[in-house]
Structure 1
Protein backbone atom coordinates (compact mmCIF):
# COMPACT_ATOMS: atom_id res chain seq x y z
CA UNK A 1 0.00 0.00 0.00
CA UNK A 2 1.40 3.37 -0.99
CA UNK A 3 0.16 6.54 0.69
CA UNK A 4 -0.40 9.69 -1.37
CA UNK A 5 2.59 12.06 -1.36
CA UNK A 6 2.43 14.76 1.28
CA UNK A 7 0.06 12.93 3.64
CA UNK A 8 2.71 12.39 6.33
CA UNK A 9 1.69 8.74 6.55
CA UNK A 10 3.72 5.64 5.93
CA UNK A 11 3.05 1.93 6.29
CA UNK A 12 5.21 1.87 9.41
CA UNK A 13 3.99 4.90 11.37
CA UNK A 14 2.74 8.44 11.24
CA UNK A 15 5.80 9.79 9.44
CA UNK A 16 9.34 8.71 9.16
CA UNK A 17 10.59 5.20 8.80
CA UNK A 18 10.45 3.48 12.20
CA UNK A 19 7.90 0.98 13.38
CA UNK A 20 4.72 2.27 15.05
CA UNK A 21 5.44 3.74 18.46
CA UNK A 22 9.14 4.22 17.75
CA UNK A 23 8.86 7.47 15.82
CA UNK A 24 10.95 10.35 17.12
CA UNK A 25 9.26 12.44 19.81
CA UNK A 26 6.08 10.38 20.04
CA UNK A 27 4.74 11.30 23.47
CA UNK A 28 8.00 12.93 24.51
CA UNK A 29 9.49 16.39 24.54
CA UNK A 30 11.69 17.21 21.56
CA UNK A 31 14.77 17.82 23.70
CA UNK A 32 16.14 19.56 26.78
CA UNK A 33 14.27 22.73 27.62
CA UNK A 34 11.34 22.00 25.29
CA UNK A 35 7.77 21.31 26.28
CA UNK A 36 6.01 18.03 25.60
CA UNK A 37 3.69 18.17 22.62
CA UNK A 38 0.66 17.22 24.76
CA UNK A 39 -0.38 17.97 28.35
CA UNK A 40 0.50 15.50 31.11
CA UNK A 41 -2.22 12.92 31.63
CA UNK A 42 -3.64 13.14 28.10
CA UNK A 43 -3.78 10.26 25.65
CA UNK A 44 -2.70 10.89 22.06
CA UNK A 45 -6.26 10.43 20.80
CA UNK A 46 -9.32 11.93 22.50
CA UNK A 47 -12.99 11.95 21.51
CA UNK A 48 -14.24 15.45 20.63
CA UNK A 49 -18.00 15.85 20.83
CA UNK A 50 -20.05 18.72 19.39
CA UNK A 51 -23.18 19.15 21.52
CA UNK A 52 -26.05 21.63 21.79
CA UNK A 53 -25.88 21.76 25.60
CA UNK A 54 -22.42 21.20 27.07
CA UNK A 55 -23.62 21.36 30.67
CA UNK A 56 -26.07 18.52 30.03
CA UNK A 57 -23.29 16.25 28.74
CA UNK A 58 -20.85 17.30 31.49
CA UNK A 59 -23.44 16.58 34.20
CA UNK A 60 -24.42 13.30 32.57
CA UNK A 61 -20.80 12.12 32.43
CA UNK A 62 -20.19 13.12 36.06
CA UNK A 63 -23.26 11.24 37.30
CA UNK A 64 -23.09 8.24 34.96
CA UNK A 65 -19.34 7.60 34.67
CA UNK A 66 -17.77 9.51 37.55
CA UNK A 67 -16.15 12.03 35.17
CA UNK A 68 -14.15 14.92 36.62
CA UNK A 69 -14.14 18.32 34.96
CA UNK A 70 -10.69 19.50 33.90
CA UNK A 71 -11.08 22.70 31.89
CA UNK A 72 -13.93 24.83 30.57
CA UNK A 73 -13.52 27.83 28.26
CA UNK A 74 -16.57 29.99 27.65
CA UNK A 75 -17.35 32.39 24.82
CA UNK A 76 -18.31 35.99 25.58
CA UNK A 77 -22.00 35.00 25.38
CA UNK A 78 -21.48 32.35 28.10
CA UNK A 79 -21.74 29.33 25.79
CA UNK A 80 -19.07 26.67 26.09
CA UNK A 81 -16.36 26.99 23.46
CA UNK A 82 -14.33 24.04 24.79
CA UNK A 83 -14.61 21.73 27.79
CA UNK A 84 -12.71 18.69 29.01
CA UNK A 85 -13.65 15.94 31.44
CA UNK A 86 -11.60 12.99 32.64
CA UNK A 87 -13.37 9.62 32.37
CA UNK A 88 -11.14 7.06 34.08
CA UNK A 89 -7.86 7.46 32.16
CA UNK A 90 -9.18 9.36 29.13
CA UNK A 91 -9.91 13.02 28.49
CA UNK A 92 -13.17 13.60 26.60
CA UNK A 93 -13.35 17.00 24.91
CA UNK A 94 -16.46 18.80 23.81
CA UNK A 95 -17.67 22.04 22.31
CA UNK A 96 -21.07 23.63 22.17
CA UNK A 97 -22.81 24.50 18.89
CA UNK A 98 -26.52 24.88 18.11
CA UNK A 99 -26.32 22.14 15.46
CA UNK A 100 -24.89 19.25 17.47
CA UNK A 101 -23.56 16.14 15.79
CA UNK A 102 -24.65 12.73 17.12
CA UNK A 103 -21.73 10.46 17.97
CA UNK A 104 -21.02 7.05 19.46
CA UNK A 105 -18.40 6.55 22.18
CA UNK A 106 -17.26 3.18 23.57
CA UNK A 107 -16.22 3.10 27.24
CA UNK A 108 -14.88 0.12 29.19
CA UNK A 109 -16.19 0.06 32.77
CA UNK A 110 -15.66 -2.33 35.69
CA UNK A 111 -19.36 -3.25 35.94
CA UNK A 112 -21.46 -2.63 32.83
CA UNK A 113 -24.77 -3.32 34.56
CA UNK A 114 -24.10 -0.84 37.38
CA UNK A 115 -22.80 1.79 34.92
CA UNK A 116 -25.84 1.27 32.69
CA UNK A 117 -28.16 1.81 35.68
CA UNK A 118 -26.25 4.99 36.70
CA UNK A 119 -26.46 6.29 33.13
CA UNK A 120 -30.24 5.79 33.07
CA UNK A 121 -30.56 7.47 36.48
CA UNK A 122 -28.45 10.37 35.15
CA UNK A 123 -31.04 11.07 32.43
CA UNK A 124 -29.94 8.72 29.67
CA UNK A 125 -32.29 6.55 27.65
CA UNK A 126 -31.61 2.94 26.74
CA UNK A 127 -30.33 2.31 23.22
CA UNK A 128 -29.69 -1.36 24.05
CA UNK A 129 -29.67 -3.13 27.42
CA UNK A 130 -26.43 -4.85 28.46
CA UNK A 131 -25.97 -8.29 26.93
CA UNK A 132 -23.13 -10.65 26.08
CA UNK A 133 -22.13 -10.01 22.49
CA UNK A 134 -20.13 -13.12 21.61
CA UNK A 135 -16.91 -11.11 21.35
CA UNK A 136 -15.85 -11.50 24.97
CA UNK A 137 -17.68 -8.36 26.15
CA UNK A 138 -20.96 -7.59 27.87
CA UNK A 139 -22.15 -4.30 26.36
CA UNK A 140 -25.13 -1.94 26.44
CA UNK A 141 -25.85 1.50 25.04
CA UNK A 142 -27.28 4.65 26.60
CA UNK A 143 -28.17 7.88 24.77
CA UNK A 144 -27.40 11.07 26.72
CA UNK A 145 -29.54 14.25 26.66
CA UNK A 146 -27.60 15.55 23.61
CA UNK A 147 -28.08 12.39 21.54
CA UNK A 148 -24.58 10.93 22.11
CA UNK A 149 -24.70 7.13 22.38
CA UNK A 150 -22.38 5.80 25.08
CA UNK A 151 -21.58 2.10 24.59
CA UNK A 152 -20.69 0.75 28.03
CA UNK A 153 -18.77 -2.50 28.09
CA UNK A 154 -17.08 -4.92 30.47
CA UNK A 155 -14.62 -7.48 29.14
CA UNK A 156 -15.68 -10.96 30.22
CA UNK A 157 -12.96 -13.00 28.52
CA UNK A 158 -9.65 -11.52 27.42
CA UNK A 159 -8.88 -11.93 23.71
CA UNK A 160 -12.09 -13.82 22.97
Structure 2
Protein backbone atom coordinates (compact mmCIF):
# COMPACT_ATOMS: atom_id res chain seq x y z
CA UNK A 1 0.00 0.00 0.00
CA UNK A 2 1.25 3.49 -0.83
CA UNK A 3 2.21 5.50 2.28
CA UNK A 4 2.69 8.99 0.85
CA UNK A 5 -0.15 11.48 0.52
CA UNK A 6 -0.72 13.27 -2.78
CA UNK A 7 -2.24 16.74 -2.52
CA UNK A 8 -4.26 16.76 -5.75
CA UNK A 9 -4.80 13.70 -7.89
CA UNK A 10 -7.19 13.07 -10.74
CA UNK A 11 -9.43 10.09 -10.02
CA UNK A 12 -10.80 8.51 -13.17
CA UNK A 13 -13.92 6.39 -13.31
CA UNK A 14 -13.94 3.96 -16.23
CA UNK A 15 -15.98 1.14 -17.64
CA UNK A 16 -13.23 -1.50 -17.59
CA UNK A 17 -10.44 -0.55 -15.18
CA UNK A 18 -8.28 -3.54 -16.10
CA UNK A 19 -8.39 -2.56 -19.77
CA UNK A 20 -7.82 1.10 -18.86
CA UNK A 21 -4.68 0.30 -16.87
CA UNK A 22 -3.41 -1.73 -19.82
CA UNK A 23 -4.19 1.15 -22.20
CA UNK A 24 -2.41 3.72 -19.98
CA UNK A 25 0.65 1.45 -19.84
CA UNK A 26 0.81 1.18 -23.64
CA UNK A 27 -0.15 4.78 -24.38
CA UNK A 28 1.64 6.73 -21.66
CA UNK A 29 4.12 4.32 -20.08
CA UNK A 30 2.06 4.15 -16.87
CA UNK A 31 3.27 2.04 -13.97
CA UNK A 32 0.69 0.29 -11.82
CA UNK A 33 1.42 0.92 -8.15
CA UNK A 34 -1.61 -0.56 -6.44
CA UNK A 35 -4.92 -2.28 -7.22
CA UNK A 36 -7.87 -3.24 -5.04
CA UNK A 37 -10.21 -5.74 -6.68
CA UNK A 38 -13.56 -6.47 -5.06
CA UNK A 39 -15.26 -9.83 -4.75
CA UNK A 40 -17.37 -8.91 -7.78
CA UNK A 41 -14.21 -8.52 -9.90
CA UNK A 42 -14.51 -4.75 -10.24
CA UNK A 43 -11.54 -2.56 -9.42
CA UNK A 44 -12.57 -0.43 -6.46
CA UNK A 45 -9.32 1.54 -6.51
CA UNK A 46 -6.07 1.54 -8.43
CA UNK A 47 -3.09 3.88 -8.40
CA UNK A 48 -0.90 4.29 -11.46
CA UNK A 49 1.95 6.68 -12.12
CA UNK A 50 2.17 8.57 -15.42
CA UNK A 51 5.29 10.67 -16.04
CA UNK A 52 5.89 10.78 -12.28
CA UNK A 53 2.33 11.91 -11.46
CA UNK A 54 -0.14 9.73 -9.58
CA UNK A 55 -3.47 8.90 -11.20
CA UNK A 56 -6.21 7.03 -9.37
CA UNK A 57 -8.89 5.06 -11.15
CA UNK A 58 -11.72 2.66 -10.50
CA UNK A 59 -14.40 0.75 -12.33
CA UNK A 60 -17.86 2.25 -12.57
CA UNK A 61 -20.01 1.70 -9.49
CA UNK A 62 -23.45 3.01 -10.57
CA UNK A 63 -24.94 1.96 -7.25
CA UNK A 64 -22.69 4.62 -5.68
CA UNK A 65 -23.34 7.20 -8.41
CA UNK A 66 -19.93 6.63 -10.03
CA UNK A 67 -20.04 6.51 -13.81
CA UNK A 68 -17.41 7.03 -16.46
CA UNK A 69 -17.63 9.66 -19.19
CA UNK A 70 -19.30 7.37 -21.73
CA UNK A 71 -22.14 6.52 -19.32
CA UNK A 72 -22.40 10.18 -18.30
CA UNK A 73 -22.58 11.41 -21.91
CA UNK A 74 -19.10 12.99 -21.96
CA UNK A 75 -16.75 14.78 -19.62
CA UNK A 76 -16.22 18.46 -18.84
CA UNK A 77 -12.70 17.73 -17.56
CA UNK A 78 -9.53 17.53 -19.63
CA UNK A 79 -6.25 16.04 -18.48
CA UNK A 80 -3.01 17.69 -19.59
CA UNK A 81 0.04 15.44 -19.84
CA UNK A 82 3.38 17.18 -20.39
CA UNK A 83 6.03 14.90 -21.86
CA UNK A 84 9.42 15.20 -23.56
CA UNK A 85 8.07 14.25 -27.01
CA UNK A 86 4.39 15.02 -27.58
CA UNK A 87 4.42 13.59 -31.09
CA UNK A 88 5.74 10.19 -29.97
CA UNK A 89 3.35 9.91 -27.00
CA UNK A 90 0.39 11.06 -29.11
CA UNK A 91 1.18 8.40 -31.73
CA UNK A 92 1.63 5.73 -29.03
CA UNK A 93 -1.77 6.64 -27.59
CA UNK A 94 -3.39 6.39 -31.03
CA UNK A 95 -1.74 3.02 -31.61
CA UNK A 96 -3.04 1.86 -28.22
CA UNK A 97 -6.63 2.79 -29.15
CA UNK A 98 -7.12 6.51 -28.50
CA UNK A 99 -8.97 8.74 -30.97
CA UNK A 100 -7.45 12.00 -32.20
CA UNK A 101 -9.46 15.19 -31.63
CA UNK A 102 -6.82 17.72 -32.72
CA UNK A 103 -3.40 16.78 -34.10
CA UNK A 104 -0.19 17.81 -32.39
CA UNK A 105 0.79 21.33 -33.44
CA UNK A 106 2.91 24.24 -32.22
CA UNK A 107 1.08 26.93 -30.26
CA UNK A 108 2.00 30.58 -29.55
CA UNK A 109 2.57 29.94 -25.84
CA UNK A 110 5.61 27.76 -26.57
CA UNK A 111 3.99 24.33 -26.36
CA UNK A 112 3.45 21.62 -28.94
CA UNK A 113 0.10 20.06 -28.07
CA UNK A 114 -2.44 17.61 -29.47
CA UNK A 115 -5.80 16.45 -28.07
CA UNK A 116 -7.22 12.94 -27.96
CA UNK A 117 -9.89 10.78 -26.31
CA UNK A 118 -8.88 7.59 -24.62
CA UNK A 119 -11.04 4.50 -25.24
CA UNK A 120 -12.86 5.16 -21.94
CA UNK A 121 -14.04 8.67 -22.83
CA UNK A 122 -11.45 10.78 -21.02
CA UNK A 123 -9.97 13.76 -22.90
CA UNK A 124 -6.17 14.19 -22.83
CA UNK A 125 -3.92 17.01 -24.02
CA UNK A 126 -0.45 15.72 -24.84
CA UNK A 127 2.05 18.54 -24.70
CA UNK A 128 5.78 19.32 -24.91
CA UNK A 129 7.53 22.64 -24.33
CA UNK A 130 9.25 23.76 -27.53
CA UNK A 131 10.12 27.36 -26.58
CA UNK A 132 10.21 29.67 -23.59
CA UNK A 133 7.87 32.57 -24.32
CA UNK A 134 7.83 35.74 -22.22
CA UNK A 135 4.54 37.42 -21.34
CA UNK A 136 5.40 40.30 -23.65
CA UNK A 137 6.18 37.96 -26.55
CA UNK A 138 2.99 35.98 -25.93
CA UNK A 139 0.89 39.16 -26.05
CA UNK A 140 2.51 39.99 -29.41
CA UNK A 141 1.84 36.51 -30.74
CA UNK A 142 -1.85 36.39 -29.84
CA UNK A 143 -2.57 40.01 -30.70
CA UNK A 144 -6.14 41.04 -30.01
CA UNK A 145 -7.37 37.44 -29.78
CA UNK A 146 -7.01 37.38 -25.98
CA UNK A 147 -6.38 39.76 -23.13
CA UNK A 148 -3.45 38.29 -21.19
CA UNK A 149 -2.89 39.60 -17.68
With normalisation by structure 2, the TM-score equals 0.76
Cα distance in 2 between the residues matched to 1:57 and 1:159: 36
What are the equivalent positions in structure 2 for 1:24-63 lying under 5 Å apart?
39-40=3-4, 43-63=6-26
Q: Deviations over 1:23-82 (max 9, x none)?
A: xxxxxxxxxxxxxxx833x64211111111112221111001110000010121000101
Structure 1 residue ranges (4+ consecutive) displaced by more than 6 angstroms after TM superposition: none
SS in 2 for 1:45: coil
1:123-159 deviations in Å (ceiling 9; x for gaps)? 1110110011211101001211101111100011235
Q: Which has the higher contact order (CA 8 A, sep 6+)?
A: 2
Q: Which consecutive unaligned segments of at least 5 residues does structure 1 have?
A: 1-37
Q: Gaps (5+ residues) in structure 2?
A: 70-74, 135-149
TM-score (norm 1): 0.71
Are 1:112 and 1:154, in contact at CA under 8 Å, matched by a contact in 2?
yes
Q: Deviations over 1:81-128 (max 9, x none)?
A: 011111121110011115313342100010000111100000111011
Name the larger-Rg structure: 1
1:125 to 74, 88, 99: 99
Cα RMSD for the two superposed structures = 1.7
